[in-house]
Amino acid sequence: MTVSITSIPGIAAKTAEILTNHGFKTVSEIAGSTVEKLSSVPGFGAARARAIINAATALLVHSPSSAPKIASSPKPKRAVSKKAAHARSKSKTKASKKDARTKSSDKEKSHKAKLKREQKCKEKLKKEKLRKEKQRKEKLKKEKLRKEKQRKEKLKKEKKGKQKPNKLKAKAKQKQKRKKR
């Protein structure tokens, strides 16, 4: 009896299909694979590949029908020298420091961008306020000019109204002078 790849925790039908297309057809092939080989499959990073290999190995250990296959399958090389382990841990700390710097610089950039947007918004509001104030002043000026014009027209009408009686009187006086002659 063969154990299906989908019985490995973390492997669903789609993932099983992807693995089959890349040459991993059985649980024992996955358990005997290296992290590098399995991480070359799309969707598998080193951490996921390691977890799937461990889960496949554990599944084969607990499955009695596939026990002989474990013994015949090659084990991945996991022994690492102390120098290599130290160098790897050093590179991880450098990478984590770099990630921290990158995150902090990203935060600074986003903060600066936020401040810039706020500044633009304030400037826009200030310009809008100045524009409205200018419109209000122009409206008041136009209203003042209109009222001044009305006042002048009213004065002209009053003058004309007053001049008529004077002209009439002057004409009447001229007529009287003519009659006397």
DSSP string, 135-158: HHHHHHHHHHHHHHHHHHHHHHHH
Residues contacting 74, CB < 8 A, separation 6+: 32
- pLDDT tops 80 at residue 115: yes
CA distance 178 to 141: 54
Tell me the CATH number at 46. Answer: 1.10.150
- pLDDT tops 60 at residue 29: yes
Q: Let me know whether 54 and 125 are in one domain.
A: no
**Pairwise pLDDT comparison (92 vs 105), residue with the higher score:** 105
Q: How many CB atoms lie within 10 A of CB 56?
A: 28
In terms of Cβ atoms closer than 10 Å to its own Cβ (0-12, 13-18, 19+), residue 27 is buried
Confidence of residue 66 (pLDDT cuts 50, 70, 90): very low
Q: Let me know whether 39 and 106 are in one domain.
A: no
- pLDDT tops 70 at residue 24: yes
With b for 16 or more beta-carbon neighbours within 10 A and e for fewer, the 28-44 pattern comes to bbbbbbbbebbbebeeb
Mean pLDDT, the chain, as a whole number?
A: 78
pLDDT score, position 161: 67
* Domain total of the chain: 2
Q: The tokens 């200018």 sit on which residue?
A: 134
pLDDT score, position 88: 62
CA distance 164 to 159: 9
Q: Let me know whether 136 and 150 are in one domain.
A: yes
Q: Let me know whether 97 and 162 are in one domain.
A: yes
Asked which of 74-83, 94-103, 105-114, 160-169 is least confident by mean pLDDT, the reply is 74-83
Domain span at residue 31 reads 5-79
Is residue 23 within 8 Å of residue 40, measured between CB atoms? Answer: no
Asked which of 9-23, 70-84, 155-169 is least confident by mean pLDDT, the reply is 70-84
Q: Let me know whether 16 and 57 are in one domain.
A: yes
Share of the chain above pLDDT 70, in %: 71
pLDDT score, position 19: 92
Q: Give the end of a domain, one of 79, 102, 124.
A: 79
- pLDDT tops 90 at residue 50: yes
Give this prediction's pTM: 0.36
Q: Give the end of a domain, one of 18, 48, 79.
A: 79
Q: Let me know whether 89 and 165 are in one domain.
A: yes
Joined together, the tokens standing for residue 71 give 């013994």
pLDDT score, position 41: 92
